[in-house]
Amino acid sequence: MSTDNSLMPDPEFDAKIEALIGSIRSVYGDEFIPLHRPVFEGNERQYLVDCIDSNFVSSVGKEIVQFENMICDYTGAKYAVATVNGTAALHAALVCAGVGRGDEVLSQALTFIATCNAISYTGAKPVFVDVDKDTMGMSPTALRAWLSENTTQKDGQCVNKMTGAVIRACVPMHTFGMVLRISEIAKICEEFCITLIEDAAESLGSFEGGTHTGRFGAMATLSFNGNKVITTGGGGMVLTDDEELAKTLKHTTTTAKVPHPTEFVHDRIGYNYRMPNLNAVLGVAQMQTLPSMMDIKTEIAAFYKALGESQGWNVVQARKGTTANNWLVAFCMETPEQRDVFLTRTNAAGVMTRPIWRLMNELEMFKDCQHDGLTVSKWLEQRIVNVSSGVPDARLKDVKISS
């Protein structure tokens, strides 16, 4: 009987994990270490009290507009529309892009479920193309290859030759804040008459050259969930440079109510997706500390890069010409077996780590979706892990409030 040596105990790898755990604890301390956590070291408490005292705690309030403007100033987007969460932002963006029942939307199988859920809410169906190994985001090479082989142009629309469906949009995601080859993706989408909507949920603070993620397509979406670089508890936002799209987004996410002093008239199917003012005040305070948070996150990433070089870990790095926000640091294991051992040992020691997501086409809801083989996605799914990436207690004193 043959023996699979990959499943045999590996004392050298075990010792390597122990050394890593010790190094992480030297920074984060001896208690349980979460993967990420919110940091409230600015004006959050005072702003919340002020908001409660004002009685404007729901979807009307000046802080919602202030938060939207702060995001515009930071990212360079002309318009921003705040929503209750990132999934709602994606759904609203797809609806306003004209995506509907019977359409198809290109995306990644290696993504968080929200991307595909939002596509499904419209009645459209995802089509999955592969990712690049270095960015873990949609591959322009794979995208062009699939489109060239499987689509045709008809009346200014991109049509899937196999299904006859119009491919209405493309939704690539910047995984863990790493910037995918978005400029190339944008050119391909323009060439094939497909609307580009960036899923920038994880990439606030990430740039390609001097351009913030979310600035390359017709629209982009952000998430402010509790584990993101900044949080509003729950929340999201749609970015666009198109004034008419911005007006449509705000109207659609405010139940499509036509302004009137006394009447309730709604002129289309709308959604109650506007962010409450109570959440927006957190966003305003969080944006005031974002610059120092980015500095600290850069240092955390540098810490892991140094550990990778000294202890022999393959730490995923931002590709040349980009700046990542370092939301979650990712290690790439040599084998799936090493990944499983790593996850078991670190979590048992109270140092939280996690695998990357299960591929969307492996989930029951999306198992029949068309894809291109997803060779790289499958390889990464079996090897990528996230390590503790939050702000250590010792660094909270360095969180500064800007104007």
* CATH fold for the domain made of 7-37+290-398: Aspartate Aminotransferase, domain 1 (3.90.1150)
Q: Compute the radius of gyration of the chain from its Cα atoms.
A: 22
Going along 210-327, which residue ranges are E strands?
A: 211-212, 219-223, 236-240, 257-258, 265-266, 322-323
Distance in angstroms between the alpha carbons of the first and the last residue of the chain: 69
Distance CA 16, CA 22 (A): 10
* CATH fold for the domain made of 44-284: Aspartate Aminotransferase; domain 2 (3.40.640)
Query: Is there a contact between 163 and 151 (Cβ–Cβ < 8 Å)?
Result: no
Residue 3 has pLDDT above 60, yes or no: no
The pLDDT value recorded for residue 2 is 43
72 DSSP β-pair partners: none
pLDDT tens for each residue of 141-168: 999 999 999 999 999 999 999 999 999 9
Residue 6 has pLDDT above 90, yes or no: no
Residue 8: pLDDT band (50, 70, 90) is low
The domain ranges of the chain are: 7-37+290-398, 44-284
pLDDT tens for each residue of 200-233: 999 999 999 999 999 999 999 999 999 999 999 9
Query: Is there a contact between 223 and 71 (Cβ–Cβ < 8 Å)?
Result: no
Q: Do domains 7-37+290-398 and 44-284 have the same CATH topology?
A: no
pLDDT tens for each residue of 37-86: 999 999 999 999 999 999 999 988 899 999 999 999 999 999 999 999 99
